[in-house]
Amino acid sequence: MAFFLFLCLCQLFAFDFVSWQGVLGFLLKLVIAYSALHYYHSRRESFELIYVKVMATLSMLSLPLFALNFYRHVGIQLERTIQKSTFFYTSFDTPAEFVRNSGMFWEPGAFAGYLILAFLFIVALNGRFQIGPFKKEALWLLLGILSSLSTTGYLAFGVIAAVYFLTNYSFGKFIIAPLFGVLMVMAYNSLDFLQAKVLAQYEEATEMDIYDVSNTRFGALNMDLVYINSSPWYGNGLHYSTRYRFHPWVTEDIGHGNGMSNFIVFWGIPLFLLWLFWVYHFFKKRLYSGILSALAMIIIVLILQGEQFLNHPLFMIFFIYTAFSSQKLVIENTLGR
């Protein structure tokens, strides 16, 4: 928290303004992350294990409501007119061909990102890229990802599956991995929400100039590079007046599509690199492999390209996870001892 406040003082000196209300909200999210970890640690329970089981249950509960969404739009009306919530599922009032499973989250990409993190927690609990005793949970997580039709979710899961085959089968390098690679390429070429979506966003980003505003993955990254180059060390702050100072006509949330670049714009490159280090450190303590830990870190960076996960407490826990982590506790709880 002291480090965050130091960055805010640097921003105050540079821009003569800091949104202290926004900073307080951000620090409260850190408190929530700390409190959750402290609660389960004090009860000698594994946070990762409980998270996997919760996400598997949420995915299971979402599937019948997802099927209902093809025929009915039911639930409590949310702020956006096309969204309703039944708590376990966010229903979208869209044509049937565009219905995607968003679970209880704000959109399908967010649901897929939280499910991918559950898969990575399974990896951490097993100490390697294996399913182990989590076959039932893994099935529900997979069905959730498949029904989300999330571009980033599919790509991230593809990386997880590729590493799984390469590290668990002696013939995986020669048979399963190449076959899986061919299937991934075929899926990318045939599914509109993969190739067409990625290419359209990329082409839009390449045609942008310095004054254009975009909320797509590539477009947002292109726009954010201006701010990152301008203030790489301590960021640009949380308020629109400093965060979008080169685009002063932006005065509200634009639905920013790149969670990585947006966080760097807020807080600077060093803090993001520090967060990456702690993500790597978390997996290194459990996987005992620098390469596999780096791959797990890359997968998390990949899902950041689609959503603002670093604005939420769950992904902030990596800043402080090491203070609570206990490999022995994780193994004991996983085996039910």
pLDDT in tens, 225-253: 889 999 999 999 898 889 888 888 887 77
- Main-chain phi, psi angles of 51, to 5 degrees: -60, -45
| SS3 label, residue 170 | coil
Share of the chain above pLDDT 70, in %: 82
C-alpha 2, offset from chain centre? 25
Query: What's the pLDDT score for residue 337?
Result: 40
Taking CA atoms, 304 is separated from 255, 264, 295, 315, in Å, by 14, 12, 14, 10
Would residue 44 be called left, alpha or beta, if left means φ above 0 and alpha means ψ between -120 and 50 degrees?
Answer: left
Render 40-80 in DSSP notation, one character per residue.
Answer: HHHTT--HHHHHHHHHHHHHHHHHHHHHHHTT---SEE-SS
Q: How many CB atoms lie within 10 A of CB 253?
A: 9
Query: What's the pLDDT score for residue 182?
Result: 66
For the cut 90, the answer to whether the pLDDT of residue 300 exceeds it is yes
Q: For residues 139 and 205, which has the higher predicted lDDT (pLDDT)?
A: 139
* Local confidence band at 322 (pLDDT 50, 70, 90 cut-offs): confident
Query: What's the pLDDT score for residue 228?
Result: 93
Identify the helix (H) or strand (E) that includes residue 294.
helix 290-304
For the cut 70, the answer to whether the pLDDT of residue 255 exceeds it is no
Segment 131-156 shows an average pLDDT of: 92
For the cut 50, the answer to whether the pLDDT of residue 328 exceeds it is no
Whole-angstrom distance, CA of residue 137 vs CA of residue 125? 13
Query: What's the pLDDT score for residue 252?
Result: 73
Instruction: Please report, for the chain, how many H helices and E strands are present, in that order.
Output: 15, 3
For the cut 80, the answer to whether the pLDDT of residue 217 exceeds it is no
Segment 52-73 shows an average pLDDT of: 91
Query: What's the pLDDT score for residue 83?
Result: 82
Segment 130-137 shows an average pLDDT of: 92
For the cut 80, the answer to whether the pLDDT of residue 62 exceeds it is yes
Tokens of 84: 């309703």
Query: What's the pLDDT score for residue 271?
Result: 94
For the cut 50, the answer to whether the pLDDT of residue 327 exceeds it is no
Which DSSP state fits 321?
G
Query: What's the pLDDT score for residue 200?
Result: 60
pLDDT in tens, 177-216: 666 666 666 655 555 555 555 566 556 656 666 666 776 7
Would residue 242 be called left, alpha or beta, if left means φ above 0 and alpha means ψ between -120 and 50 degrees?
Answer: alpha
Q: Looking at 24-38, 54-68, 82-96, 187-201, which range is the least confident one?
A: 187-201
